[in-house]
Amino acid sequence: MNKWFFFNLFLLLTSLWKVMTGYGFPTIQIHILLGITGVFFILFNWTRHAVFSTIRNSTDRRIKIKYANFSKKAMPFHRWTGTTALIIILFHAGFVLNRFGIHLENPKIISGLLAGSVLAGVVISGWMRRIKPSGTKRIAHLRLGLTMFFLILLHVIL
């Protein structure tokens, strides 16, 4: 198992934990529901990175083939789960800002805006990569994804 599977599981469990220990649980407010749904969609796509790392690092041909087939099955959804994640997060931000206002001194709002902006970059670089692939776009898509992962973790923990 690649270490990224554990990192991803950690983000998933931390997000679920935050939501379940939040104010008023089991009643979940709409902005929180949108936030956690966004995490599900983003992690579905980001797990590709764990799968690709496993393929690269494995010396066992059977494992390489198994993961490559798995990745191929998920690929037709990739661009749509990614784009949907962005739309969900835009609604998350819309509900949050409508409710609390733009308080840039609030770490939750700042980290959210940062994570949301990088998510937009991930989706834009993804579409650019799909329309006309290049090495630079591949690296941009990957690095932005990596940055986003840690920003989301920060956003959820804060």
Work out the number of other CB atoms within 10 angstroms of the CB of residue 158: 13
Q: How many residues bind ligand HEM (CB under 6 A)?
A: 47
Give the whole-angstrom CA distance, residue 133 versus residue 82.
17
Site for ligand HEM, residues 112 to 151, rule: CB under 6 A? 112-113, 115-116, 119, 122-123, 126-127, 129-130, 138, 141-142, 145
Distances (CA, A) of 93 to 34, 55, 115: 9, 36, 11
Using CB atoms within 10 Å of the CB of residue 58, give its burial: 0 to 12 exposed, 13 to 18 middle, 19+ buried: middle
Nearer to ligand HEM, 2 or 15 (CB): 15
* Residue 63, token pair as written in the block: 């494992």
41, 81 Cβ separation under 8 angstroms: yes
**Residue 83: strand, helix, or coil:** helix
Minimum separation from the CB atom of position 59 to ligand HEM (A): 19
Q: Does residue 85 belong to the site contacting ligand HEM (CB under 6 A)?
A: yes
The 29-68 contact track toward ligand HEM, x by CB under 6 A, reads: ---x--xx-xx--x--xx-xx--x----------------
Calpha distance 141→118 (Å, rounded): 10
19 belongs to the binding site for ligand HEM (CB under 6 A): yes
Which residues would be at the binding site for ligand HEM (CB under 6 A)? 15, 18-19, 22, 32, 35-36, 38-39, 42, 45-46, 48-49, 52, 75, 78-79, 82-83, 85, 89, 92-93, 96-97, 100, 108-109, 112-113, 115-116, 119, 122-123, 126-127, 129-130, 138, 141-142, 145, 152, 155-156
